Amino acid sequence: MFSGTLLCPYCGGVLNTTTGVGVYTCQSCGKNNYASRSDLTSMMSDRPLGDAIVTVLDLATDNAPRALEKVEELIEENGETPDLMFTRGCVYAHMGEDGKAHNDWKTGLSLLDTFNDIDAYVCLICDAIADLIIYKEVEFIEFDYQRYIDRISREIYECIGDSCRAIVYSTLYRIYMTKLRDMHMGVEDDLFTDIVPRIFRRIIEYTRDYRETIVTIERFLNQVGFDEETYEDDDDYECYLYHLVKLYLVAYTAEMTDADAEAIMLQWNDENMSVLEDHFEEIVSCVRDPTMLQGILSIKNDECIADLPEAVNGYVTEYLLLKHEDSEEPETV
């Protein structure tokens, strides 16, 4: 990805790229990582009851009540296995039953005796949550999906001991965008503007490898058609914020090595990154209401948005673990 070596997004270990097509097993933690995040059929089909599970998942989209009957039958015959609990949770999600889905996923997690397949479950859950979000949005049902996903990723983290919030959010993002495309929805539609900015923020707040953060921002800005020349007219300050984060990251890390990147990555985890989340959320709310920048920068003037670079500088140096006295603004910014 960056230096020819694929790193495990869970533990930072080296991935064995000869495991199989699209499946990379981590040499450190043993987890299987899936290149495709949405090909649930190939993730599940080799597993015990795989074919039956794939049938249930396919059915869940068109006829969720029938899918529920089927998975209940499977549970009656085979007991509550992790695969079946995760699957039933997905069926519930398709029915809009977020609470029941969450309970089943929690049970599935508690039944695991190895975490090698957690990545497949993450993909499974994210696919279901993407549909759940669309369902609630289309039906105008209030649903704090960010709180929901935060809670589920915290539970996965507590269970497996590896940071996973950025993995969950970026998997959800990829699957959700594919679904929007299939529905012929674009970046102007409510399903994008109401949902994606909050998902994307979490990816930035919790990605531990800055190299990935840079690539993620680049892709996102391309996708939404961000234009540095016209963002003011477009009233696109949030994208401008990401643009600045990228500029500062690139400038500060120009001389850093892969080893530096890994060292920074290993200092962060889903728990201590809540500091970054708070910091970034504060800047985002300032972008939405520039007068608030006066508060966090202790400045008193009207040109608040002009001080955004200073706020971003503070955030990026914190993320990169640079001491403040070392962090003179890079000249390239």
Catalog residues that contact Zn ion under the rule CB under 5 A: 8, 10-11, 13, 26, 28-29
29 vs 175 by CB, closer to Zn ion: 29
Cα torsion angle, 68, 100, 88, 107, sign: negative
Q: Which two tokens stand for residue 213?
A: 């953060």
Residue 194 DSSP code:
T
207 vs 317 by CB, closer to Zn ion: 207
User: Contact 200/173 with Cβ under 8 angstroms?
Assistant: yes
30 vs 330 by CB, closer to Zn ion: 30
Name which of 315, 34, 300, 332 is nearest 292 in CA terms. 300
Least gap, CB of 270 to Zn ion (angstroms) = 15
78 vs 116 by CB, closer to Zn ion: 116
31 vs 243 by CB, closer to Zn ion: 31
14 vs 292 by CB, closer to Zn ion: 14
Least gap, CB of 30 to Zn ion (angstroms) = 7
Burial 255-285 (b: 16+ CB within 10 A, else e): eeeeeebeebbeebbbeebeebbebbeebbe
Least gap, CB of 79 to Zn ion (angstroms) = 29
Least gap, CB of 25 to Zn ion (angstroms) = 9
Name the CA dihedral angle for 272, 105, 168, 165, rounded to a multiple of 10 degrees. 0
Least gap, CB of 124 to Zn ion (angstroms) = 19
Burial 55-81 (b: 16+ CB within 10 A, else e): ebbebbeeebeebbebbeebeeeeeeb
20 vs 197 by CB, closer to Zn ion: 20
Is residue 267 classed as helix, strand or coil in its secondary structure?
helix
CA atoms within 13 A on the CB side of 231: 17
Least gap, CB of 13 to Zn ion (angstroms) = 4
Least gap, CB of 42 to Zn ion (angstroms) = 21
